[in-house]
Chain A
Amino acid sequence: MPNNKLTYAQLLETNNIIQVLGEETYFLCVTRTVQESKLFPVSSYMLLSYLNAFYRYPTLLRKIEKHMPAEMIADRVRNMCSKIQSIGMGWCMIGFYLLGREMLINMGMIRPQDAAEDVAYVMNFWKRYQLAWHRNNGHITNKEAGHRSQILPERRIQVFHADMYACKDGDALHTAADKFLATVSQYAFLVACESRISMSNHGPYNLGDGREMLVRDFFDLAEGDLPWLDGVASDVPFNRLTVTTAVKDTHFYLVDDWGSFDSRPEYKSENMCGVGLYTSDELSETHTPVGMGSREELTETFDRYADIFKDATTKLWKRIASYTRNQMLDAGALTYYAIIKDLAHVAGCYEADDWMKFDERAERFRGLLNDEYGNELLGALVVPLTLPSHQCNEYTMMPHSNAPKHVHTPISYAILTGEDYVPSVGDGIRPGVTYLPPKADRYRTTQGVMTLAEFNQRCSNFTPQLCTEKFRHLDETWVKFNYKTPLADEMYQIEQQTSRKLAGKGAGLSRADVAALADKF
């Protein structure tokens, strides 16, 4: 059933995204490491997640956009801690989807032009989201921005800057923050089944005087979407936490689309000279300080939370160690596949069956996914690109390797002149499967623990003031030329409401003014 709905311009845009993503995938995989685990069948679960993404993302993204367009979701997310930022959206969303497609092409299950309209839609959703999320720096990815991830508007950076407590290596706050970061990082790796997708970083933001701020986000920490946290994470007080860190004598020259960073000289915690702690989600106006009433309170909070996360780590580890392989496979694959699930939360249409189950079309392949095939196929898909679909004409010189290869297969323009294709995998979600216990109907939010129905309802009904039409498009360019207006002051004061140093100060502060009010790092 030929269906030439796609235009040349749409295909050009789609193929551009496919090509650029593929090259960055290769770079990220070469410069990072292949992660194996003695606990989780990591490669196998990744492959299962890619297949689920291919079959389900188009339908779920269309469902989400019936509630809220991609660019509006991104506008909301820019001012909160959420999984749909650098790693989740910057790379994983289209990376997982396209890797699923490439697997199926190499299995002979689909042709490159099959699901062309799905592919074009998923790429376009992603592009609109990314442009909006990156609005303040004008790029589509961190890669395009020179591997820099400057997301926040000045008004939020100023609050983070002003409210950090100074610390130095060996003092009580520094020691507590160090211990907390180690403990929560370890917990996040376990929550995410040996992947780094429960944490991400953005920045750097220049604080002046040789200091840079790196914002470190952690998500899916408490009882919420992930069934394996039911019970074991009941003492975790917040589902998402943001740690602001000021670092001296260190330049973060790379913050990539996996949310990872590199610095010169290498990052050492002894160079951390300021720290803060916040929470936020779809139901909060903006970032809410946690334990920030005094230096002593923040120190005690870090210490107490480290103990909570240590205890939760032990409980979770015991649970996972008792899992069957299918349950481990499920937990890992669902962590990956559902990395964009917060899109549905922002839009107020999250359903556990959409995100915490495997579509029967993907589930068919489970029996293939032993450890060896998982490792070999995953390796072939990203580096060294040994599958038939990766091979190009011999004159081709791929970036980073000069090999005649590409990572993802473009859609041929021949479909515009009559070559047939099937536009979509099909509308609607097919029945889902999981070996995990049923998800408990408990979701911890910044507004307390609630049922999913209530969570969706409240998300649907809540619009943060800064995301209302009154303020939504008052961007950095507007502020530059209007900072003396009452409207600018009003906008900044909303952001400053819970700031210990900037409450009521308005829009007129320079970085030097903020530094004068802040602790001396």
Chain B
Amino acid sequence: MAKLFVDQDKYADGEGTPIVAAFNSALKDLVRRKLDESGGNWNDFVFGKAYSLITADEIAKIERKVLDSGYRYTCSAMISIMERPDAYKPLPGTESGAAKFSFEHPAAQTAPADANGREQRGQGDNVVKYPSNIVGIARYYRSAEQVMQSLTQGVPPDTIAIIDDSGGTLTAPILEQFKGVICAGGTVRSHLGILTREYGIPCLMGAKISGIFEGDTVELEVSGQSKTTEAYQQGIEMTVRVWKHAAKK
């Protein structure tokens, strides 16, 4: 089979992560095969014959072959798993119903209830320091359907949204109605961090939480220091706490 120019590389140490390695190696095999088919002249091939020989169908077969091996992809956008449920791993929590779901981060710092009945259930990076903490009701927002429902029915009062999307678009039409936000990803510079700052909505980014369920009363220590650029650059932890309040009897 034809050898590619990049097959000889003094410093290369692999193709990268497994899925990248699988796809890129298969692509190189495809190029080798088609180069052979074309007669082996690279200069005629690269921006000429390759356009008709390396087709969308041939490239798509590479993705399907990985699926056929039993591998399932990790999804980011909900639309991806909605359209191809057989191609992606299930999203944790979506199958058991929101009421029974909670983010469970292994690095969440927890502590028994204090004298005020506040049980620490995690920590996060504070976007803006406010004069006092906020208390509200935890509600998970993880899909466009939930946002659409809130668009038509309204966001319940005192909602502290728990989101695993550090972007600013999933909750765009209802963000202004949140009392606070706990985001399980991103940094204070993520789009959601930027927008909550602009709206004046207390927010913790990169939150690591555990055992907070839909409807729990939670308190965010947003009176604590906000995380600085320098802290991110130097890898310094600078977090504030998330508490769950004891249920009222």
Q: Is the CB of A190 within 8 A of B6?
A: no
Given A32-B189, A388-B6, CB of A38 within 8 Å of CB of B78: yes
Q: Is the CB of A186 within 8 A of B195?
A: yes
Q: Which of B165-208 contact A (CB under 8 A)?
A: 165-170, 172-173, 175-176, 185-187, 189-191, 194-195, 198-200
Given A114-B47, A266-B226, CB of A39 within 8 Å of CB of B60: no
Q: Is the CB of B190 within 8 A of A189?
A: no
A516 touches B (CB below 8 Å): no
Given A41-B79, A373-B20, CB of A182 within 8 Å of CB of B195: yes
CA gap between A105 and B24 in the complex, in Å? 10
A194 touches B (CB below 8 Å): yes
Q: Is the CB of B169 within 8 A of A425?
A: no
Q: Is the CB of A391 within 8 A of B12?
A: yes
Given A35-B167, A328-B77, A364-B56, CB of A376 within 8 Å of CB of B20: yes
Q: Is the CB of A110 within 8 A of B46?
A: yes
For A424, give its contact among B24, B47, B50, B79 (CB under 8 Å).
B47
Q: Which residues of B contact A295 (CB under 8 A)?
A: none
Q: Is the CB of A36 within 8 A of B168?
A: no
Q: Is the CB of A37 within 8 A of B151?
A: no
Q: Which residues of B contact A106 (CB under 8 A)?
A: 6, 15, 24
For A422, give its contact among B46, B187, B199 (CB under 8 Å).
B46
CA gap between A32 and B193 in the complex, in Å? 12
A360's nearest neighbour on chain B, judged by CB, is B51
B228 touches A (CB below 8 Å): yes
Q: Is the CB of A36 within 8 A of B167?
A: yes
B75 touches A (CB below 8 Å): yes
A447 touches B (CB below 8 Å): no
A111 touches B (CB below 8 Å): yes
Q: Which of B33-84 contact A (CB under 8 A)?
A: 42-43, 46-48, 50-51, 54-57, 59-60, 62-63, 73-80, 83-84
B80-108 vs A: 1/0 string, CB under 8 Å?
10011001100000000000000000000
B111 touches A (CB below 8 Å): no
CA gap between A422 and B51 in the complex, in Å? 15
Tell me the minimal C-beta distance from B73 to chain A in angstroms: 4
Which of A328, A366, A386 is packed against the most chain B CB atoms within 10 Å? A386
Given A31-B229, A111-B5, CB of A367 within 8 Å of CB of B79: no
Q: Is the CB of A376 within 8 A of B47?
A: no
For B143, give its contact among A33, A38, A196 (CB under 8 Å).
A38
Q: Which residues of B contact A1 (CB under 8 A)?
A: 43
Size band of the interface chain B makes with A: 35 or more
Q: Is the CB of A194 within 8 A of B191?
A: yes
Given A109-B31, A196-B191, CB of A40 within 8 Å of CB of B232: no
Q: Which residues of B contact A373 (CB under 8 A)?
A: 19-20, 23, 63, 73
Q: Is the CB of B31 within 8 A of A361?
A: no
Q: Which residues of A contact B165 (CB under 8 A)?
A: 36-39
B14 touches A (CB below 8 Å): yes
- Give the interface segment out of A72-80, A279-287, A313-321: A313-321
For B168, give its contact among A115, A186, A268 (CB under 8 Å).
A186
Q: Which residues of A contact B59 (CB under 8 A)?
A: 364-365, 367-368
Given A324-B79, A422-B46, CB of A372 within 8 Å of CB of B169: no
For A325, give its contact among B73, B80, B172, B233 (CB under 8 Å).
B80
Q: Is the CB of A391 within 8 A of B76?
A: no
For B62, give its contact among A31, A328, A368 (CB under 8 Å).
A368
CA gap between A394 and B12 in the complex, in Å? 11
B132 touches A (CB below 8 Å): no
Q: Which residues of A contact B166 (CB under 8 A)?
A: 33, 35-36
For B142, give its contact among A38, A392, A424 (CB under 8 Å).
A38
Given A368-B23, A376-B20, CB of A40 within 8 Å of CB of B28: no
Q: How many residues of chain A get a CB closer than 8 Å to chain B's CBs? A: 82
B194's nearest neighbour on chain A, judged by CB, is A185
Given A108-B28, A325-B80, CB of A38 within 8 Å of CB of B189: no
Q: Which of A410-424 contact B (CB under 8 A)?
A: 420, 422, 424
Q: Which residues of B contact A213 (CB under 8 A)?
A: none
Q: Which residues of B contact A340 (CB under 8 A)?
A: none
B118 touches A (CB below 8 Å): no
Q: Is the CB of A39 within 8 A of B144?
A: yes
Q: Is the CB of B75 within 8 A of A371?
A: yes
Q: Is the CB of B16 within 8 A of A380?
A: yes
A366's nearest neighbour on chain B, judged by CB, is B56
Q: Is the CB of B56 within 8 A of A190?
A: no
Q: Which residues of B contact A222 (CB under 8 A)?
A: none
Q: Is the CB of A41 within 8 A of B77?
A: yes
A393 touches B (CB below 8 Å): yes
For A108, give its contact among B13, B31, B173 (CB under 8 Å).
B31
For B74, give its contact among A260, A371, A380, A425 (CB under 8 Å).
A371
A267's nearest neighbour on chain B, judged by CB, is B197
B199's nearest neighbour on chain A, judged by CB, is A182
Q: Is the CB of B169 within 8 A of A37?
A: yes
B237 touches A (CB below 8 Å): no
Tell me the minimal C-beta distance from B228 to chain A in angstroms: 7
Q: Which 9 A-B residue pairs are closest in the complex by CB-CB distance?
A: A367-B60, A388-B12, A182-B198, A108-B28, A37-B167, A38-B165, A391-B11, A372-B73, A189-B168
Interface residues of B (CB under 8 A from A): 4-7, 9-17, 19-20, 23-24, 27-28, 31-32, 42-43, 46-48, 50-51, 54-57, 59-60, 62-63, 73-80, 83-84, 87-88, 128, 142-144, 147-148, 151, 164-170, 172-173, 175-176, 185-187, 189-191, 194-195, 198-200, 226, 228-229, 232-233
Known A39-B165, A317-B172; 12 more pairs at CB < 8 Å: A31-B233, A35-B167, A37-B76, A38-B77, A39-B167, A41-B79, A114-B47, A178-B198, A194-B191, A367-B63, A372-B74, A374-B76
Interface residues of A (CB under 8 A from B): 1, 31-33, 35-43, 105-111, 114-115, 178, 181-182, 185-187, 189-190, 193-194, 196, 260, 262, 266, 268-269, 310, 313-314, 317-318, 320-321, 323-325, 328, 360-361, 363-368, 370-377, 379-380, 386-389, 391-394, 404, 420, 422, 424-426, 430
Residue pairs across A and B with Cβ atoms less than 8 A apart, 14 shown, are A31-B229, A35-B190, A37-B169, A38-B76, A39-B169, A40-B77, A106-B6, A108-B24, A321-B144, A324-B83, A371-B77, A375-B74, A387-B20, A391-B12
